[in-house]
Structure 1
Amino acid sequence: MSEPTRKYSITMPRDIAEAARARSGTSGLSSYVAAAVARQIERDNLDDLIQAVEADHGAITEDEVQALRDRFQQARKQQSQGGAVPA
């Protein structure tokens, strides 16, 4: 995260804050929380994209999701074996 930083005050449950502090290690709590928020924004953006695609093309079925999972798994397997990844 090379962007300039700014100090914010947030409120969260104590148990979550303490668990995050314990896991943050040498990077520090602020860095840990910033990374978590960045991941959530990525997920929110993906949800927005899925909703837009489904609005144009209909709902994505479980069979379509499973077929993509199978393709990703096959691609990872081939990549780990040094083979070409299918298109």
Structure 2
Amino acid sequence: MSGGTKKFSVTIPEHLAEIVQERIGKGSFSAYVSEALLRQVERDNLRELIEAAESQHGPVDRAEVEAKRSLLRADPGVRDESGSAA
């Protein structure tokens, strides 16, 4: 991350704080939380992009998505119906 930092006071469930502390040990709790927040912002941005695309082109066909996922998971030599490599 670039730029300065800003201090916030947040309240989180005690059990969650304990889980995080166990994972990071003596590491930086703030850095761990910052990375989690960054991932959430990225997810939010992706959701907004999907919503914009769906409003312009209509909803995504889940069957098509699953078909493409299958192609991505397949062996590199596997070809789709058009003859293109996966």
Normalised to the residue count of structure 1, the TM-score between the two structures is 0.74
Is the CA contact (8 Å cut-off) linking 1:20 and 1:29 kept in structure 2? yes
1:68 Cα offset (Å):
2.8
Question: In proportion to residue count, which structure has more helix?
Answer: 1
Instruction: Give structure 2 stretches of 5+ with no counterpart.
Output: 77-84
Structure 1 residues 44-55: aligned runs within 5 Å: 44-55=44-55
Instruction: Read off the aligned partner of 1:73 and give its amino acid letter.
Output: R
- Structure exhibiting the larger radius of gyration computed from Cα positions: 2
| CA 26–61 in structure 1, closer or farther in 2 if over 3 Å, else same | farther
- Coordinate RMSD, CA, aligned: 1.9
Structure 1's unaligned 5+ residue stretches are 79-85
**Matched positions, count:** 78
2:57 aligns with 57
Q: TM-score, normalised by structure 2?
A: 0.75
